[in-house]
Amino acid sequence: MQYTAKVVNANTDRSDCLIVTAFEGDQWSASASALESKGGQLAALCKREGFKGKQGETLLLHTPEGTQAKRVLVLGLGKLQPSPSAYQSALGKALEALKNTPCKSLTLCLDELNIEGRDARWLARQVALTLGMGQYRFTRCKSQKGDAPPFAPTKLTVGAAKKSLTSDFQTGLREGAAMAKGTNLTRELGDLPGNICTPSYLATEARRLGRGQKKLSTKILDEKQMKELGMGALLSVSAGSDQPAKLIVMEYRGAAKSQKPVVLVGKGITFDTGGISLKPGAGMDEMKYDMGGAASVFGCMQTLVELEPNINVVAVVAASENMPSGGATKPGDIVTSMSGQTIEVLNTDAEGRLVLCDALTYAERFKPKAVVDVATLTGACIMALGSHASGLYSNRDELAEALLAAGEESGDRAWRMPLWDEYQKQLDSNFADMANIGGREAGSVTAACFLSRYTQKYPWAHLDVAGTAWRSGSAKGATGRPVPLLMHYLLKQAS
Identified binder of ligand BES from the candidate list 275, 352, 459, 480, rule CB under 6 A: 352
Smallest distance from Mn ion to CB 449, Å: 17
Note if 353 is an active site residue.
Answer: yes
Indicate the angle between helix axes 292-307 and 199-210, nearest 10 degrees.
Answer: 10
Smallest distance from Mn ion to CB 63, Å: 57
Q: Map residues 330-369 to x or -, x wherever contact with Mn ion holds by CB under 5 A.
A: -------------------x-x------------------
Identified binder of ligand BES from the candidate list 83, 89, 342, 347, rule CB under 6 A: 347
CA distance 61 to 74: 8
Peptide bond preceding 482 in cis form (omega within 30 of 0): yes
Q: Name the one range near Zn ion by CB under 5 A: 41-49, 287-295, 411-419, 453-461.
A: 287-295
Q: Which of residues 253-272 bind ligand BES (CB under 6 A)?
A: 272
Which residue, 212 or 283, has its beta carbon nearer to Zn ion? 283
Give the largest CA-CA distance in the chain. Answer: 82
Q: In what order do the strands lie in the sheet with 390-394?
A: 216-221, 246-253, 312-322, 262-272, 370-375, 460-464, 390-394, 414-416
Q: Which of residues 404-463 bind ligand BES (CB under 6 A)?
A: 437, 443
3-state helix, strand, coil in the chain (%, to 5): 40, 20, 40
Q: Name the one range near Zn ion by CB under 5 A: 188-196, 250-258, 306-314, 346-354.
A: 346-354
Smallest distance from ligand BES to CB 375, Å: 8
Is 188 a residue that touches Zn ion (CB under 5 A)? Answer: no
Q: Name the one range near ligand BES by CB under 6 A: 205-213, 215-223, 303-311, 377-385.
A: 377-385
SS3 (DSSP) at 222 = coil
**Sequence-distant (≥ 6) Cβ neighbours of residue 402 within 8 angstroms:** 489, 492
- Residue 268, binding choice from ligand BES, Zn ion, Mn ion, none, Cβ under 5 to 8 Å by partner class: none
Closest listed residue to residue 357, CA positions, set 265, 419, 260: 265
- Residue 443, binding choice from Mn ion, Zn ion, ligand BES, none, Cβ under 5 to 8 Å by partner class: ligand BES
CA distance 78 to 331: 56
Identified binder of Zn ion from the candidate list 76, 261, 352, 482, rule CB under 5 A: 352
Closest listed residue to residue 488, CA positions, set 415, 416, 413: 413
CA distance 4 to 6: 7
Q: Which of residues 270-289 bind ligand BES (CB under 6 A)?
A: 272
Q: Please provide the DSSP assignment of 265-303 as one string.
A: EEEEEEEE--TTSPPPSTTGGGGGGGGHHHHHHHHHHHH
- Residue 358, binding choice from ligand BES, Zn ion, Mn ion, none, Cβ under 5 to 8 Å by partner class: none
Ranked by CB distance to ligand BES, the top (closest) residue is 379
CA distance 488 to 495: 11
Identified binder of ligand BES from the candidate list 92, 379, 411, 477, rule CB under 6 A: 379
Q: Name the one range near Zn ion by CB under 5 A: 10-18, 176-184, 282-290, 395-403.
A: 282-290
Cβ atoms of 324 and 262 closer than 8 Å: no
Smallest distance from ligand BES to CB 325, Å: 17
Smallest distance from ligand BES to CB 379, Å: 3
Smallest distance from Zn ion to CB 466, Å: 8
Note if 211 is an active site residue.
Answer: no
CA distance 300 to 296: 6
Which of these is catalytic: 6, 279, 330, 416? 279
Which residues here bind Mn ion, judged by CB under 5 A? 272, 349, 351
Which amino acids are annotated catalytic?
279, 353
